[in-house]
Amino acid sequence: MKKTDNDRTETATAGSEPDFKNLVDLLAVFSEASNQLAAIQAAANGSQLEIVDEHKADYARLQQALSDTEGALEVLARRNPQWFENKATRN
């Protein structure tokens, strides 16, 4: 008697049933973990945007202050190079 495709499938499934159950269980864990991580990432992104919104005006103001101050310091240093000649930094 010739084995049919159904017979082969049943035999293969019966022999690998524990592995198949393990595969399904692992895929369920993987899927759930992926979904939970995506939810956490979305919440974190939302929180980050709120924090940025809270501080962006101060951040921009301070960045501008640094830029302006750096430019002014450079002008002074170029006008007065003698301030920086032969002066060792003390530790």
The band of 10, judged by pLDDT with boundaries at 50, 70 and 90, is: low
| Domain regions of the chain by residue span | 5-84
Q: Residue 85: what pLDDT?
A: 86
pTM equals: 0.49
Give the pLDDT confidence score for residue 12 in this predicted structure.
56
Structure tokens at 57: 């005006």
Residue 3 — pLDDT band, cuts 50, 70, 90? low
Cα gap 39→37, rounded to integer Å: 5
Average pLDDT over residues 13-41: 93
CB atoms within 10 A of CB 20: 13
Model confidence at 47, pLDDT cuts 50, 70, 90, reads very high
Distances (CA, A) of 20 to 6, 11, 14, 34, 68: 17, 13, 10, 21, 66
Amino acid at 35: N
Judged by DSSP in three states, 85 sits in: coil
Instruction: Return the residue matching tokens 């990432």.
Output: 41
